[in-house]
Structure 1
Amino acid sequence: MSGLNPRFRQALQAALERYETPFYAYDLTSIQAKVSALRAAFPQAELFFAMKANPRLGILRRLLGLGVFLEAVSLGEVRRAYAAGFKRKEVLLNGPLKTPAMLAELKEIGVPILGLDSLPDAERVTRHLPGSHVILRVNPDLPVLTHDHLATGRGESKFGILPQDIGRALKIARAGDLDVLGLHVHLGSALERAEDFHAGYALMEQLYKEHGPFEVLNLGGGFGLGLDLTRLAPAALGLAERLGVELWLEPGRYLVAEAGVLVTRTWGLKQTRRKFLLVDAGMSHLLRPMLYGAQHPVEPLYKGGAPQTFDLAGPACESGDILAKDLTLPTPKEGDALAIMQAGAYGSSMSSNYLDTPRPLELLWTGEEWEVLRRRQSWESLLLEEQPGEGG
């Protein structure tokens, strides 16, 4: 995997002179290049960015300018999408549960395209939002090679409607005056094998022949960072052409992961039965290593001494607060900085206030200057919702 872009690295060095660590930093030119790569591989496809990967308004607005739509999975994300300037038809709302209260609020603020995830989901939408444009999410019941928490297309996953129940779901939707645009499959995340996608595509072709015709084929996302799109695109484009449908894709991590880094400073070495390098970023800022066992490359932003091997330990009072294991780096001095790579997706969006930790500053490098996407959260703001005597 390639290291930091030299210009971005230079910009990070300048940012370290101005901003307190830890902070997230994103390279806009990397995001633009990923959009171009997807457009080159899938020229006929509509792209819906899975905004849970990185929901910063400054990034969403730039994607809108590039003609990329949004995939949301919560009411809050729909509101954020509208705040960023997206129209209802440019937002697809997926997710396993849509409560009556949620559907009532959507009726007030504007109903996006709805992804129906179950038979009860379809029944509720027909009752509360008849006439809506919808797609049905298929659970293909297929094995895929990824972390168990990311394998959304397995039969034991909570997501989607099993193939044998698609007919019932369509009957419910059509009887309730819903406009069924097509079917949707999302096999999982961080998938590196084209074979996993091809198996999903074959099932979708069968379902379209059995239950079609439809207008849209949504093949989801889940593209691993090392996936060769040239091995995937011909099968997806060929399927859409054979079915005579518009192709939709939902890239998330693929678009933004490599654009982002979490910058942290080192604050000393510690030796128990293992050797640790203590840093000021931890699980409250970057949860993926603890949650998924995710491995993030780390690049030093300093010139250090002789190489040593250690675990990168955050400040949380948790044994699992380890951002990298068996990491070999030049020996740093106190205050030297590291860039934790591939942190542009599910880094900030999964950050928390655990241990009363303010969420970090987020910056965007435009190629010319730094833009603040989100200010560092103040500690005082953590107390605002706990003022005595205020109603709920």
Structure 2
Amino acid sequence: MSIAQSNALRPEFQAALHEASRFFETPFYAYDLESLRNRIETLQAAFPSAEIFYAMKANPRLGLLRRFLEWGLNLEAVSLGEVHRAYRAGFQRTEVLLNGPVKTPATLEELAEIGIPILGLDSLADIRRVAQILPGSRVLLRVNPDLPISTHDHLATGRGESKFGILPEDLGEALDVARKGDLEVLGLHVHLGSALSRPEDYHAGYEVMRQLYLQHGPFEVLNLGGGFGLDLNPAELAPSATALAKAFDAELWLEPGRYLVAEAGVLVTKIWGTKRTRRNFMLVDAGMMTLLRPMLYGAQHPILPLYTGRKTETWDLAGPVCESGDILAKEVRLPTPKEGDALAILQAGAYGSSMSSNYLDYPRPLELLWNGGEWEVLRRKQSWESLFADEL
């Protein structure tokens, strides 16, 4: 049984958003600290013995990461820049796991200077390069379980045709290369994909890992990844995941990202007109440069009007970018607005800000955190000077 996605905000946070929409220039991102804390505590209660590595690509704001450190989380990074950010937030190298399919010599050499995190290795080429440049590193080997994962094609990292991981039949060779290369193999890692809603996908992945641990173990760590969809209750997976780790006397690691932060964040945008062609459009100041997920994944985000009254109609939310795909939502029932009315795009706490871009020279937006009493600025709106600073 799954838990339903929440389309509602805490009343206190929603009231604060109404005020913020009148005070701050839109578009802006806003996050609810209490919702973040509650979500993390819920997952920690479901997996009390697990080490949780927050997938920081979901939302990497330093002001959030520092709080996550206080709350007992580790970090999962997928780039050199994210490792720098993790260390700047106060995490130690033993609290950071660097995954990703490509680690260049320059990246590895810089890690030797700033501190080598735990490394997730994705291929034989990855293993050989790390063994040559960073011998003695503590590593996990990522498995591609070759399963028919049910999610968007761009999110299904556990299918056999995915670019990620080592196929089960190649794992023996990979382990030999790693151990001969003087790497300390802590264990194996599997990440099936993102926005997964079917427990059976996880159970199939767990069975692949069970067979690999029987064949190639023992290992110190069992990393079962993340990818929990918002309509999945991870607590339903806890008994089988915990039992699997216990059966092999391994420490259980998890890598949730979007599940922890998505529903705590919103994107606030204002409506600057309506337009009727063969469809009804609300013209808003946020777009694909602010929130890419609808265009990239066909993601559907609930929409909350921060205004009342007037007749309800069906609308598409059209952004300002000169691209036909710059539509943030389709066929949403909303009250007919007046110019300057505001909307909150929900479930935007993950892969919103982190995927934002400067396409068409739009500055990245302001980001705020509601701490229950006041707004904290997590990131100022990007200045024009900053936008052009690196160009000669």
Distance 1:380 1:2 in 2: 38
Out of 299, 302, 305, the position equivalent to 2:304 is 299
Runs of 4+ in 1 over 3 A off after TM superposition: none
1:64 corresponds in structure 2 to 69
1:139 corresponds in structure 2 to 144
Distance 2:164 2:177 in 1: 18
Contact 1:262 1:339 in 2 (8 A): yes
Write the mapping of 1:31-46 to structure 2, written as runs, cut at 5 A.
31-46=36-51
Deviation at 1:176, TM superposition (A): 1.0
Are residue 347 (structure 1) and residue 352 (structure 2) matched?
yes
Deviation at 1:231, TM superposition (A): 2.0
Identical positions, percent:
72
Out of 192, 196, 211, the position equivalent to 2:197 is 192
- TM-score, length basis structure 2: 0.98
SS where residue 386 of structure 1 aligns?
coil
Are residue 364 (structure 1) and residue 357 (structure 2) matched?
no
Distance 1:136 1:312 in 2: 43
- TM-score, length basis structure 1: 0.98
1:390 corresponds in structure 2 to none
Out of 49, 53, 69, the position equivalent to 2:54 is 49
Contact 1:304 1:333 in 2 (8 A): no
Deviation larger for 334-343 or 227-236 = 227-236
Letter in 2 for 1:379: W
Distance 1:83 1:348 in 2: 19
Deviation larger for 254-263 or 32-41 = 32-41
Write the mapping of 1:37-116 to structure 2, written as runs, cut at 5 A.
37-116=42-121
Q: Which runs of 5+ in 2 are unaligned?
A: 1-5
Write the mapping of 1:93-242 to structure 2, written as runs, cut at 5 A.
93-242=98-247
Contact 1:184 1:220 in 2 (8 A): yes
Contact 2:7 2:346 in 1 (8 A): no
Are residue 321 (structure 1) and residue 326 (structure 2) matched?
yes
Are residue 386 (structure 1) and residue 391 (structure 2) matched?
yes
Distance 1:109 1:317 in 2: 42
Letter in 2 for 1:35: I
Q: Which runs of 5+ in 1 are unaligned?
A: 388-392
Deviation at 1:186, TM superposition (A): 0.1
Distance 2:112 2:366 in 1: 34
Distance 1:350 1:229 in 2: 25
Out of 267, 289, 294, the position equivalent to 1:289 is 294
Are residue 246 (structure 1) and residue 251 (structure 2) matched?
yes
- CA-atom RMSD in angstroms: 0.7
Distance 1:229 1:172 in 2: 35
Distance 2:263 2:199 in 1: 20
SS where residue 35 of structure 2 aligns?
helix
Deviation at 1:386, TM superposition (A): 1.6
Distance 2:79 2:309 in 1: 45
